[in-house]
Structure 1
Amino acid sequence: MTTTATEGRHEDVASAPRFERPLRPLPGLRRVARDANGTTITNGVIGLVFSATGPIAVILTVGVQGGLSAEQLASWIFGVFFLNGLLTVLASWLYRQPLAFFWTIPGTVVVGGSLDHLAWAEVVGAFVVTAALVLAIGLTGWVRPVMAALPMPIVMAMVAAVFLRFGLDLITSLGVDPAVAVPMVAAFLLSSSLPALGRRIPPILGALVVGAVAVAVAGRFTPVDSGTGWFAQPVFQLPVWSWQAVVELVVPLAVTVLVVQNGQGVAVLRQAGHTPPINIATVWCGLTSAVAALVGAVSTCLTGPTNALLTASGERRSQYTAGIVCGLLAMMTGLLAPAFVRLLLATPESFVAVLGGLAMLRALQSAFVTAFRTHFTLGALVAFLVTVSDVTPLNISAAFWGLVAGVAVSALLERGDFAEARRPAGA
């Protein structure tokens, strides 16, 4: 499947329209309800749980260190969940495939490095300029040819390096917090090894339930009063133009959206057998980012890890319902952002780490197999090593530099693989 997708992409790019059209006929409510099942619903729930745990902690850390108020943080979280959740529901329904849109985590880290010397209004101004740039690139149709030219093994090696942290956090949690981690892993393995049980209780759901019980029994659930209400109250921020903010933030944010994050999302979805609408997705990222910026939310992207969770199991034709479930839950999370953050901070870190690690195991395995199975293996190795190194020259994430280094090495030392990839399928 992967080889065909890699070798046939040049023909697809040449023949496909600039703006990908939704599938017809659009599925009605009865069709969506019929296609939804225990597996897709569980994948949607886990996708949301993952997105609303570790990634949201990045926002909280960056915001607190940057001096943002609790109201500004709640508004930021409202934007990245409610607006992106709405986009996820519409996109998954229109194209009948899981298309989860959330926010750029590397971009959030970049923003954190600027909050100590830039005003929040200037940062929001950079968000708006980034949205305009992403939208313009999406409208030109340049994104799809660039992504088609990137060798899939190198992209998936970068994805594997990004996903590796989740597997390592899983192993670390087993040693640091066995009271929570061991029961969750045991439940996952038991449900996975017994097909009859696994059909009734999906392994990830079993780990989630057992982990929640373990946290409660151990007395580790410690909610605190954050000082905010239960329902979101968006704080509208008027953007302020600043050359320093534009120069410092716009290019890194655009790169993380277009190449790093959207590249991961597209690679993961292609690996699962889907055909994501790359140009339309880029346009949507630009439009949603512009609206989200006004409530202080960082740029929208087609996320890789969440889409990997949505496509981790189940029949391909019904996986779009996992995207719809995830999007609906994200909208609810956005509306209840202050309350959700309060509950999140009440659980131990190991609970989130184990849940994410177990859910990402198959996706990590698939990424490694695709990266090192056939062609571009040296370039894939370099991309993996650079991404794992977490070097960030020019404040641009290591995932981007991993792609650059991997493609450069393959262009120098694996020219035959490029020729093989350009050869039409069956030639």
Structure 2
Amino acid sequence: MKQCFQDFSLSAVFAGFITFLVGISVSAVLIIQGAQALGASQDQISSWFLALGLAMGITGFILSWRFKYPVATAWSTPGIALIIAVGQHYTLNEATAAFIICGVLTACIGFSGGFQKCIQQIPMSLSCAMLAGILLKFGLSLFIQLQQHFNFVATLLLVYFLSKKYFTRYAIVITVLLALLLCPIFLSFQFPPIHNTLPALIWVQPHFSLQSIFGLAFPLFIINLSSQFLPGIGIIKSYGYTPHTNQLVGWTGLTQIILAPFGAFSVCLAAISAAINLDEQAHPDPKKRYIAGLCSGICYLLMAVMAVSLTHILLAFPSIFITTLAGIALLSTITHNITMAFEVPQEREAACVTFLFSASGVNFLGIGSAFWGLILGLVIHHFYRLKPK
């Protein structure tokens, strides 16, 4: 604790707070959609926010403290997008079982040291194509909404692109803040009263089924590895640190297993937002930047305490507010994954099939399109790699 006080700096605290703010700014509204898609009640949605806040707060704080470099953890935005896309096919109990299975797979692949081996078995082009297909409808809905709510959607798009050009790191934060100001002007909205009720963890009995394991748990696991853990480890390395990969992946997976029955659908390493904690703006001395990771963890714990109020506020916003912000927040993710999916010419056909199949939303044997799109893409990928006799 003494060392913590010695290494303390306001710049690190601010970096930790901004990392937290970027992490929850828009994806929080996606959690509302995802939980509702599975039929969760308002109290259960509050439990989701409480469980996620505890998961991110505890893992971010302890791992940063243990390894003395900033470790930012987060829920998976692409993961909650998957849940929204396929949620109508599963009950909350089945989804909860899938979240537990995903955590078990993550913990096993982390502690066993098989993280890199698993990633290498799935071409990056196909995992990106699957993710791009899942996210496609979010991008399309953004522009479909222009017809009915032109002023609100167009203004937010303008704000986003301007802030993306001149204040890249804070583009999403700026867009969310402006959306909050514009909501009462363009939409029918009245700010709800703040509730002082403390949240409670609500247990959901998991119901294990092959459909939810193959249709939700496996795709969620693959998405988390490729879109969160892989870039998360890469970002830590890029700033000169040596990440404890096995422990980082393993402990986050174990945390997900414990808190999944209460709503922690994914516990991952943060990807893009993690760079804020790792950058020299947090502190010129790399050995003292872990304070930013501690601060991010504390912010998530405070969010957990405010879970009931957060739920009431988010549920009060019109659906157009949520869908517009979700679409804008995912624009960069969609762009990145489409680019990566079709980057290698020899893999484009397999990636295209995976992308289109995943975007189709079709369901076979109770298993969603993301799983089948990836399977078909892998078959085509390996077929083209066969050497003719």
Q: TM-score range by the shorter chain?
A: 0.7 to 0.9
State the distance in 1 between where 2:95 and 2:333 align.
34
Q: Which residue of 2 aligns with 1:142?
A: 114
Residues 252 and 186 from structure 1, CA distance in 2 versus in 1: closer, same or farther, beyond 3 angstroms?
A: closer
1:1-12 matches, within 5 Å, as none
- Is residue 2:15 matched to residue 1:47? no
CA deviation after TM superposition for structure 1 residue 147, in Å = 0.9
Unaligned runs of 5+ in 1: 1-26, 417-427
Q: Which residue of 2 aligns with 1:258?
A: 221
Q: Which residue of 1 aligns with 2:310?
A: 340
Which digits, 9 at most, give the CA deviation of each residue in 1:136-177, with x for residues without a partner? 454333343121222222222223323333332332333332
CA deviation after TM superposition for structure 1 residue 315, in Å = 5.2
State the distance in 1 between where 2:138 and 2:95 align.
30
Which TM-score applies when normalising by structure 1? 0.69
Unaligned runs of 5+ in 2: 283-288
Instruction: Confirm or deny: 8 A CA contact 1:157 1:383 kept in the other structure.
Output: yes
Query: In structure 2, the residue corresponding to 1:300 is in which secondary structure?
Result: coil
Which TM-score applies when normalising by structure 2? 0.74
Instruction: Confirm or deny: 8 A CA contact 2:49 2:263 kept in the other structure.
Output: yes
1:283 counterpart (250, 253, 272): 250
CA deviation after TM superposition for structure 1 residue 342, in Å = 0.7
Instruction: Confirm or deny: 8 A CA contact 2:32 2:314 kept in the other structure.
Output: no
Work out the number of aligned pairs and report it. 370
CA deviation after TM superposition for structure 1 residue 278, in Å = 5.5
Percentage identity across paired residues of the two chains: 21
State the distance in 2 between where 1:330 and 1:216 align.
28
Q: Which residue of 1 aligns with 2:266?
A: 300
Which digits, 9 at most, give the CA deviation of each residue in 1:196-216, with x for residues without a partner? xx38x9433332222211113
State the distance in 2 between where 1:366 and 1:46 align.
18
State the distance in 1 between where 2:279 and 2:295 align.
16
Q: CA RMSD in A?
A: 4.2
State the distance in 1 between where 2:164 and 2:99 align.
43
2:355 counterpart (375, 381, 384): 384
1:406 counterpart (370, 373, 377): 377
Q: Which residue of 2 aligns with 1:82?
A: 54
State the distance in 2 between where 1:366 and 1:359 align.
13
Instruction: Confirm or deny: 8 A CA contact 2:56 2:297 kept in the other structure.
Output: yes
Which digits, 9 at most, give the CA deviation of each residue in 1:111-157, with x for residues without a partner? 765549xxx6x986786676556544543333431212222222222
State the distance in 1 between where 2:362 and 2:344 align.
27
Write the letter of the residue equivalent to 2:377.
Answer: G
Residues 73 and 43 from structure 1, CA distance in 2 versus in 1: closer, same or farther, beyond 3 angstroms?
A: closer
Q: Which residue of 2 aligns with 1:102?
A: 75
- Is residue 2:199 matched to residue 1:232? yes
Instruction: Confirm or deny: 8 A CA contact 2:106 2:249 kept in the other structure.
Output: yes
Structure with greater contact order relative to length (CA < 8 Å, sep ≥ 6): 2
Residues 314 and 76 from structure 1, CA distance in 2 versus in 1: closer, same or farther, beyond 3 angstroms?
A: closer
Instruction: Confirm or deny: 8 A CA contact 1:45 1:325 kept in the other structure.
Output: no
Query: In structure 1, the residue corresponding to 2:182 is in which secondary structure?
Result: helix
Instruction: Confirm or deny: 8 A CA contact 1:153 1:371 kept in the other structure.
Output: yes
Write the letter of the residue equivalent to 2:344.
Answer: T
1:8-157 matches, within 5 Å, as 33=9, 36=12, 42=18, 44-64=20-40, 70-91=42-63, 94=67, 96=69, 99-102=72-75, 104-105=79-80, 106=82, 113-115=89-91, 131-132=103-104, 134-157=106-129
